Amino acid sequence: MQATQENPSADAVRHTVNIELGERSYPIVIGAGLLGHAQTYAGLPKAHAAMVVTNSTVAPLYADTVCAALSAHYPHVGRVVLPDGEAHKDWTTLNLIFDALLSGASDRKTVLFALGGGVVGDMTGFAAACYMRGVPFVQLPTTLLSQVDSSVGGKTAINHPLGKNMIGAFYQPQRVVCDLDSLKTLPTRELSAGLAEVIKYGPIADMVFFDWIEGHLPALLAREPAALAHAVRRSCEIKAHVVGQDEREGGLRAILNFGHTFGHAIEAGMGYGAWLHGEAVGCGMVMAAHLSQRLGLVDEAFVARLTRLVQAAGLPVRGPALGADRYIELMGHDKKAEGGEIRFVVIDGPGRASMRPAPDALVREVLARCCD
């Protein structure tokens, strides 16, 4: 899918990538200086009230700016500040959003704005899907990971102690606004975590992009605006193309979970928040590449190349020593498992991916090879 370029603003060139889902279609707007401009929010559903959902880290940085811009469109703008971190992606924290909506007498036209990373986006989207059986929401992702992945495509969820994102809904936003300036305040560890989801798109869909990431990794780590803009834009184009063909993950969309079966097991096994999601996915991609090689789908050179890039991005390439039995138990709770059979996204060849089961013996070989 091709992105369309809008007229340059005073701050930067803006790009729009469209998610084509019929009546649920929406734009992903990418540029600098977007959060604080009232025009960014023009054309959204009309309502008496808006509610900004953010967290304790992001709120001091951007909440006042966003609320001021929204006040040009909504007579009442409220906010709810959640505790930060994956460990709080649960029922207790979700209820804080409902408490704020109900105490503020929010009606079914109230628009929610998810200002933060993937946790805030997932929880706000799930709350929007549930409150009064559905109210509109807008994604304002402030991390690289959320801009290139979690804010796009309508997956919303909270975690359960037995599995990540196991309780949720498909619910599409009205718009996604990726303000590249928000990446300037991102901690280095979070930047690397986001790069995992950027790297993912190469092996599953576009090896030309993979080549570009290899060549521009120093620029990405240095947060050069042009490099970040291209990484976000191309990642969103690939995800938009996939989601447009398979909104509810009936087939093709599963390839976006490359590295996630192993990665989700790491997150659950270590305790949510010990590893960042992108760290677990980066390591999980290395594991999935080894599995692909053992299935005879890619060669050792490809595995080594992917491993070098993941490591150069500042991500772990060896998993924690949970034990093979524990990994397999946790992966059995993965959403892609069917009839008790664990299924993995594997690389059929550079730039192509599919989902398939793997013999237990091969999975154990991978875990022995890739874990401390």
Same structural domain for residues 57 and 170? yes
Range of the domain at 217: 196-370
What are the distances in angstroms from CA 14 to CA 134, 255, 295?
30, 28, 43
Task: Let me know if residue 146 belongs to a domain.
Answer: yes
What residue spans of the chain are helical by DSSP H? 64-70, 91-103, 118-130, 144-145, 188-205, 207-221, 225-245, 260-270, 277-294, 300-312, 324-331, 360-370
Task: Return the CATH number at 129.
Answer: 3.40.50.1970
- Residue 13 marked as a ligand binder: no
Q: Report angle CA 117, 123, 128 to the nearest 5 degrees.
A: 120
The amino acid sitting at 229 is A
Task: Let me know if residue 190 belongs to a domain.
Answer: no
* pLDDT by position in tens, the chain (length 372): 333 333 333 345 799 999 999 999 999 999 999 999 999 999 999 999 999 999 999 999 999 999 999 999 999 999 999 999 999 999 999 999 999 999 988 999 999 999 999 999 999 999 999 999 999 999 999 999 999 999 999 999 999 988 889 999 999 999 999 999 999 999 999 999 999 999 999 999 999 999 999 999 999 999 999 999 999 999 999 999 999 998 988 889 999 999 999 999 999 999 999 999 999 999 999 999 999 999 999 999 999 999 999 999 999 999 999 999 999 999 998 877 777 789 999 999 999 999 999 999 999 999 999 998
Task: Let me know if residue 191 belongs to a domain.
Answer: no
Q: Which of 151, 185, 219 is the last residue of a domain?
A: 185
Same structural domain for residues 216 and 364? yes
Query: Which two structure tokens, joined as six digits, stand for 350?
Result: 């550079």
Task: Let me know if residue 302 belongs to a domain.
Answer: yes
Tell me the torsion sign for CA atoms 169, 170, 172, 176.
positive
Same structural domain for residues 241 and 359? yes
Q: Which of 157, 185, 213 is the last residue of a domain?
A: 185
Same structural domain for residues 148 and 246? no
Please tell me the total count of domains within the chain: 2
Give the model's pLDDT for residue 304: 98
- Residue 200 marked as a ligand binder: no
Give the model's pLDDT for residue 108: 95
Q: Which of 185, 214, 233 is the last residue of a domain?
A: 185
Distant-in-sequence, close-in-space partners of 165: CB < 8 Å, separation ≥ 6: 122, 155, 157, 158, 159, 264, 335
Task: Let me know if residue 34 belongs to a domain.
Answer: yes
Question: In this structure, are residues 84 and 66 in contact, taking their beta carbons and an 8 Å threshold?
Answer: no
Same structural domain for residues 154 and 240? no
The residues with which 170 forms a beta bridge, in sequence order, are 155
Task: Return the CATH number at 300.
Answer: 1.20.1090.10
- Residue 120 marked as a ligand binder: yes
- Residue 168 marked as a ligand binder: no
Task: Let me know if residue 143 belongs to a domain.
Answer: yes
Task: State the number of CA atoms in the 13 A half-sphere of 192 facing the CB.
Answer: 18
| 3-class secondary structure, 353 | strand
- Residue 260 marked as a ligand binder: yes
- Residue 197 marked as a ligand binder: yes
Same structural domain for residues 158 and 240? no
Same structural domain for residues 161 and 202? no
What are the catalytic residues?
133, 155, 197, 239, 249, 253, 257, 260, 264, 277
Same structural domain for residues 210 and 242? yes
User: In angstroms, rounded to a whole number, what is the distance separating the alpha carbons of residues 196 and 184?
Assistant: 18
Give the model's pLDDT for residue 348: 96
Same structural domain for residues 246 and 174? no
Same structural domain for residues 123 and 237? no
Task: Let me know if residue 42 belongs to a domain.
Answer: yes
Length of the chain: 372
Task: Let me know if residue 300 belongs to a domain.
Answer: yes
Same structural domain for residues 176 and 232? no
User: In angstroms, rounded to a whole number, what is the distance separating the alpha carbons of residues 88 and 53?
Assistant: 14
- Residue 122 marked as a ligand binder: yes
Buried b (16+ CB within 10 A) or exposed e, 74-110: beebbbbbbebbbebbbeebbebbeebbeeeebeeeb
User: In angstroms, rounded to a whole number, what is the distance separating the alpha carbons of residues 181 and 116?
Assistant: 13
Same structural domain for residues 175 and 98? yes
- Residue 118 marked as a ligand binder: yes
